[in-house]
Amino acid sequence: MLLNRQQKQAIEYLDGPLLVLAGAGSGKTRVITEKIAYLVNKAGYPPQQIAAITFTNKAAKEMQERIAGLLSAQQCKLLNVSTFHSLGMRMLREEANEVGLKKKFSIFDAGDSGKILHEIIGSSGKDALFRAQQRISLWKNALLSPEQALDGAENEWEKQMALVYASYQDTLLAYQAVDFDDLIRLPTLLLQQNAEIRYKWQMRLRYLLVDECQDTNECQYALMKLLIGADGKFTAVGDDDQSIYAWRGANMENLRLLQQDYPNLEVIKLEQNYRSSARILRIANQVISHNPKLFEKKLWSEYGLGDVVQVLACKNEEHEADTVANRILFAKNSHPKIKLSDFAILYRGNHQAKWLEEALRSARIPYKMSGGQSFFDRAEIKDVLAYIRVLNNPDDDPAFIRAITTPKRGIGESTLNRLNEFARDHNLSLYQAAQDTGALSTLATKAKQDLQVFMLQVAQWQSDAACKPAGEFLNALLDSIKFEAHLLLHEEGKSGEIKWRNVMDLQRWIANKGEKDGKNILEIGQTIALITLLEGKEQEEVDAVNMMTLHASKGLEFPYVYLIGCEEGVFPHGDSVEEGNLDEERRLMYVGITRAKQNLTLTHCVKRKKMGQWQFMTPSRFIDEMPQEDIEILGRKDSAPIVSKAEGKSRLSSMMDMLKDKK
């Protein structure tokens, strides 16, 4: 694949800061990977001094794979290719002392921090909790402290939330834990305040490359600037039309800020798209033209007109899911060379995946889901992870409570309450209290004994965990707490078995990771929380259809894309329409369309069940915004039926063929 002139120019430009500004599929990410190779091979940068930052773990992994073809394995290993969060985590582990944390602090996911907030706020509804969490997160991403938040509070609610924010931070610190936002906020504050540490990191990471720069939030942007320092050695790439994380505080104005902050910023635009057929591109361009423009961009493709884009009206969600499954089967069987992984099904919200999963399962089509209800959110998985968390950081009270009570081991609520009281009065963690003779003397004899047994076990596990292979250690731990029996005993029907299978899945995954990366279980445990952030656990390498939210699909590409639920209220999302965030929804549509290489299909339901009631749905306004000559509308009252006779007839035989293949 030859590089075009602008790409080459972007790769070889080293005279100062550079922004590559271009539409979807124009090779921005490719510029980053090629530039890394150029920096190492031609410009003499040691690989360990180069940091490339991407948006998701999946994107980081893909980037590493692409670079593997360009540099030696040894060089690749030294490069820093990661997300903002994992870079922040690395910095924080190294500088933990400076911010009052010990090296093995815990990382709390949204569920964990939600629980803390719940305790602080008291018994308010889910919605209030979500709003509190969101508000605090936005303050954190804007680098505002609780005091600053209180100063700037505009109403009573915000004042209250600023106080909640303050005690939330105190609680996190007491647990020696950070949340996702802190992973970036704390290193940023540290670099701002400490010139020596700032200098150290600037010297360590001499060249910075940032993908998807339009989605950096204030805090990420600040961290990026602090790492860059005065000499301005960086390449940022981005597309303002693909900014889709405003709800997390992302600000595409940062692209413009770059120009202000670095007056000598060179801007290179890429205009040729190497991903999609002309029709797909034309639709994308036309839809996004309804948005105000930050930067003028053109995008064209040499790949011929391509397939017409079909818009299918389906009766309801079940029909929609069946239609997509059938079409995938049909396409797969008509073109035996294509793989299942060439297909992606994209949706606006995770709840839409349910019907699809059923349809794919009953059609026996293997699928992979990312960004969905995370594997790591399952209760049985969290139970096991709680043990690993305690071994890493015994002061992590929520993990300590979870581990000590699951499975039950004679330590009940009253024991924990007494321990808790003592811990609070003496400013200790529960784990510390459990070792304190004063605290132990308040407990009943039996409870005291049970607690001491547990504490001895923890000490033993801690020393085993550090020296045994990760998979082996986890097996032994599960055995010693009799976790399988616990699941089978306490769950009804088959659910215990299913849960145990999930635990075994975790065990295999940890064993593999341990072998592959040469890490023990404690080291693996330190990064698990991060994996839940934007996408799920890496799944085994099987050929399977990809299912994900539109947000998770950023940066990826697939020959066949199905974009489902294109209805008013679903996509664009009802809340966004009400809150006037239509532009962002439109950018999300632009992202969705431009994931497709050859073939794009949009579906919408005529009826949908909401809160138990059938509701009639209107097709998404974005469909009206598309050039009508490039789309074919099927299944509406006044148009052709969805399934042509040929397709309908062959469905059964395609399924039979698939089954044969599987055997």
Ligand X SMILES: Nc1ncnc2c1ncn2[C@@H]1O[C@H](COP(=O)(O)OP(=O)(O)OP(=O)(O)O)[C@@H](O)[C@H]1O
Report the partner that residue 432 touches, choosing among Mg ion, ligand X, none (CB closer than 5 to 8 A by kind): none
**The one-letter amino acid at 505:** D
Give me the torsion for CA of 410, 415, 420, 425, rounded to 10°. -150
Q: What is the 3-state secondary structure (H, E, C) of 480-496?
A: HCCHHHHHHHHCCCCHH
Measuring CA to CA, how many Å separate 119 from each of 251, 394, 609, 616?
Answer: 32, 21, 34, 40
Q: Is 217 in the site for ligand X (CB under 6 A)?
A: no
**Which of the residues 26 through 45 are near Mg ion (CB under 5 A)?**
28-29
- Active-site residue identified among 6, 7, 28, 179: 28
Position 342 contacts ligand X (CB under 6 A): no
Please tell me whether residue 239 binds ligand X under the rule CB under 6 A.
yes
Residue whose tokens read 């929609």: 320
**Residue 238 near Mg ion by CB under 5 A:** no
Please classify residue 278 by burial: count the beta carbons closer than 10 Å to its beta carbon, then call 0-12 exposed, 13-18 middle and 19+ buried: middle
Residue 537 falls in the annotated catalytic set: no
Decide: is 592 part of the binding site for ligand X (CB under 6 A): no
| Residue 29 falls in the annotated catalytic set | yes
Peptide bond connecting 366 to the previous residue in cis, omega within 30 degrees of 0:
no
Q: Which is nearer to Mg ion, 29 or 333 (CB)?
A: 29
Interactions with ligand X, residue window 535-574 (CB under 6 A): 555, 557
Pick between residue 557 and residue 568 the one whose CB is nearest to ligand X.
557
Strand partners, 483: none
Stretch binding Mg ion (CB under 5 A), from 22-30, 73-81, 198-206, 525-533: 22-30
Least separation in angstroms between CB 27 and ligand X = 3
Residue 56 binds Mg ion, judged by CB under 5 A = no
When asked if residue 29 is in the footprint of ligand X (CB under 6 A), the reply is yes
User: Is 595 assigned a catalytic role?
Assistant: yes
Q: What's the rounded Cα separation, in Å, for the pair 149 and 141?
A: 12
Catalytic residue among 33, 188, 235, 242: 242
- Candidates 23-31, 472-480, 628-636, 650-658; binding stretch for ligand X (CB under 6 A): 23-31
Is residue 243 part of the contact set for Mg ion (CB under 5 A)? no
Give the whole-angstrom CA distance, residue 88 versus residue 535: 18
Residues 593-612 that bind ligand X (CB under 6 A): 594
Task: Please choose, out of 21-29, 192-200, 454-462, 534-542, the segment that lies near Mg ion by the rule CB under 5 A.
Answer: 21-29
Q: Pick what 514 binds: ligand X, Mg ion, none; C-beta below 5 to 8 Å, kind-dependent.
A: none
Q: Which is nearer to ligand X, 8 or 103 (CB)?
A: 8
25 near ligand X, rule: CB under 6 A: yes
Give the binding range for ligand X (CB under 6 A) out of 24-32, 285-293, 350-358, 379-387.
24-32
Q: Answer yes or no whether residue 594 interacts with Mg ion by CB under 5 A.
A: no
Q: Which of 112, 211, 584, 630 does the annotation list as catalytic?
A: 211
Cβ proximity to ligand X, 37 vs 166, nearer residue: 37
Angle at 443 between CA 438 and CA 447, to 5 degrees: 130
28 binds ligand X (CB under 6 A): yes
Q: How far apart are CA 17 and CA 208, in angstroms?
A: 10
DSSP 551: G
212 is catalytic: yes
- Residue 27 contact, options ligand X, Mg ion, none, Cβ 5-8 Å cut-off depending on partner type: ligand X
Q: Which of 30, 604 has the CB closer to ligand X?
A: 30
Residue placing its CB nearer to ligand X in the complex, 65 or 425: 65
Q: Of the ranges 1-9, 120-128, 423-431, 456-464, which one interacts with ligand X (CB under 6 A)?
A: 1-9
Q: What are phi and psi of 610, to 5 degrees?
A: -125, 125
Catalytic: 315?
no
Residue 587 interacts with ligand X (CB under 6 A): yes or no = no
Give me the 256-275 binding string for ligand X, x by CB under 6 A, dash otherwise: ------------------xx
Q: Is 571:368 a contact under the CB 8 Å cutoff?
A: no
Q: Which is nearer to ligand X, 141 or 594 (CB)?
A: 594
Total residues interacting with ligand X, rule: CB under 6 A: 20
Residue burial 336-356, b: 16+ Cβ < 10 Å; e: rest: eebebbbbbbbbbebebbebb
Helix axes 218-228, 84-95, angle to 10 degrees: 60
Residue 211 annotated in active site: yes
Pick the closer one to Mg ion by CB: 471 or 555.
555
Q: How far is the CB of 275 from ligand X (least distance, A)?
A: 4
CA neighbor of 561 nearest in space, from 359, 342, 242 = 342
**Which DSSP letter does residue 618 get?**
P
Q: How many residues bind Mg ion (CB under 5 A)?
A: 3
Contact 399, 176 (CB under 8 A): no
**Distances, alpha carbon 88 to alpha carbons 53, 68, 131, 138, 232, in Å:** 11, 24, 25, 18, 20
The DSSP secondary-structure symbol of 430 reads: H
Contact segment (CB under 6 A) with ligand X among 28-36, 114-122, 157-165, 512-520 equals: 28-36
**Residue given tokens 């005091």 in the structure block:** 147
How many residues are present in the chain?
663
Binding-site residues for ATP, please? Answer: 22-29, 275
Find the residue with minimal CB distance to Mg ion: 29
24 counts as binding ligand X under rule CB under 6 A: yes
Q: Which residue has the tokens 């308040």?
A: 442
DSSP 43: S
Residue 78, C-beta contacts closer than 8 angstroms, at least 6 positions apart: 46, 47, 48
Strands of 62-204 (E only): list them.
80-83, 106-108, 177-179
Does residue number 658 form part of the binding site for ligand X (CB under 6 A)? no
Distance (Å, whole) CA 251 – CA 243: 8
Find the binder of Mg ion among 25, 146, 249, 555 (CB under 5 A). 555
Distance CA 178, CA 420 (A): 21
Identity of the residue, 530 or 591, whose beta carbon is nearer to ligand X in the bound complex: 591
State the virtual CA torsion across 9, 11, 17, 21 in degrees, nearest 10: 70
Task: Please list the active-site residues.
Answer: 28-29, 211-212, 242, 595
Residue ranges in contact with Mg ion by CB under 5 A: 28-29, 555
Residue ranges in contact with ligand X by CB under 6 A: 1-4, 7, 22, 24-30, 239, 242, 274-275, 555, 557, 594
